Amino acid sequence: MTDILQLGNPLLRQPTRKVINFADSTLQDTIDAALSELVRVGGVGIAAPQVGGRDRWCVIASHPTPRYPDAPYMSPLVLINPNIVRRSKARDRSWEGCLSVPGVRGLVSRATTVTVNYQTRDGQVRSLNCEDFVARIVQHECDHLDGVVFLDRVESSSDLMSEAEYRRQVLRIPADLPV
């Protein structure tokens, strides 16, 4: 089990550095630990700073959620040195949460489609076009790599909600049912 750093930890605010040495065992071990933790908690994404990593990588792992019942299932995908090279002008406001900001949800405006260039764990160059929920995850995780959390993107504090109210008002499910 890996500790996920919580809001207020200065490491969450530190921009990451580009990965050069893909054979670095500390890097690969940290990614493995983050993957395990992401699966354990059923999250849809995690970024290096959340597990104390200083390098530029994140994981996206879309699966359907009560808020996004049509979201695609995908095996966790590790993005090394991700760089969003295209964002649609079209934007969408939706609720986000974060493993580093427990108990709080916020309405965040994001581009609806993005193209992200990245490298695989062995350094191969790839490009991924994503839309909707997956595009939202990519933007959220890439923000982490620049020291930005979703709270920074919320336009008004009235767009914040406790997890319990989010479940009641947005998901319309009792607070004690697992999501």
Strands 113-119 and 101-111: unpaired
Q: Which of 98, 108, 111, 116 binds Zn ion (CB under 5 A)?
A: 98
DSSP string, 63-124: ---SS-TTPPP---EEEEEEEEEEE-S-EEEEEEEETTEEEEEEEEEEESEEEEEEE-TT--
Catalytic residue among 96, 141, 155, 165: 141
Q: Name the one range near Zn ion by CB under 5 A: 12-20, 96-104, 122-130, 157-165.
A: 96-104
Spatial distance between the Cα atoms of 117 and 90, rounded to a whole number of angstroms: 20
Active-site annotation holds for 163: no
Spatial distance between the Cα atoms of 154 and 70, rounded to a whole number of angstroms: 24
38 near Zn ion (CB under 5 A): no
* Stretch 47-86 residues interacting with Zn ion (CB under 5 A): none
Q: Name the one range near Zn ion by CB under 5 A: 32-40, 56-64, 72-80, 98-106.
A: 98-106
Give the nearer residue to Zn ion in terms of CB position, either 9 or 22: 9
Q: For binding to Zn ion (CB under 5 A), which residues are involved?
A: 98
Which residues are the active-site residues? 141
